[in-house]
Homo-oligomer: A and B are copies of this chain.
Amino acid sequence: MTAVRAMLQRDLRLAWRRRGDLLLPVLFFVLVASLFPLAVGAEPQRLQSLAPGIVWVAALLAALLALETLFRDDFADGSLDQLLLSPGSLSALVGAKVLAHWLVSALPLVLLAPLLAVLFRLPDEAMSVLVVSLLLGTPVLSLLGAVCVALTVGLRRGGFLLTLLVLPLYVPVLIFAAGSVATAAVGASPAAHLYFLAALLVLAATLTPFAIAAALRIGAE
């Protein structure tokens, strides 16, 4: 247990040391979201109907980019070997790492999303659904992403390969999450979508830590 707590604490402290970087996922999120109006034109009605999709695609890409920092550094500086050799439970340690990563890279997005929703003039009911969908969906993205990062960690140029592995896994989350917001925006009930997201979260949280641990042992050979 002390090991797990130390892990969480270390990663949060590392994030704090690099606190300049804390802003970056958020900025990326905002930047990508604001590319769209530039690219597709700025008519308010159209933007409003696109908003759930744009915000979620931006969140998904931010999550994807943030993955790079999850195990890559630990592998490069040899810390990963030390983790693998720790006598504690690897899946618990890895769970702590993913939690720290989510707190640092995804939570700020969730907090910022309402602002984007205002910029895109999303109706108020849809806004709260957007936040809930992000709260349920982004941890799934982090967990699924971690499995793929672990698999590619020893490869020299994992960037694109990682993307390729991860994006298909992200698709169900994207569909249900963006769907929930879009349903809410037209006034219907998003409950079904959100339940599905919640189910995905429970599933991912219970199963992936073991997958991540196994993948790390393979990837770090």
Contacts and interface: CB of A to CB of B under 8 A. Distances in A.
A36 to B, nearest CB: 6
- The contact size tier of chain A is 35 or more
A157 B52 contact: no
Given A24-B161, A159-B69, A174 B38 contact: yes
B31 A164 contact: yes
A41 B39 CA distance: 18
A54 interface: yes
Main secondary structure of the interface of A (DSSP, over half): helix
A54 B39 CA distance: 7
Contacts of A182: 40-41
B35 A40 contact: no
Contact of A39 (B21, B73, B161, B178): B178
Contacts of A167: 28, 31-32, 35
A53 B69 contact: no
A18 B161 CA distance: 12
A56 interface: yes
Interface in A29-45: 31-32, 35-36, 38-41
B163 A28 contact: yes
A57 B50 CA distance: 15
Residue of A21, A168, A171 with most chain B CB atoms under a 10 A cut-off:
A21
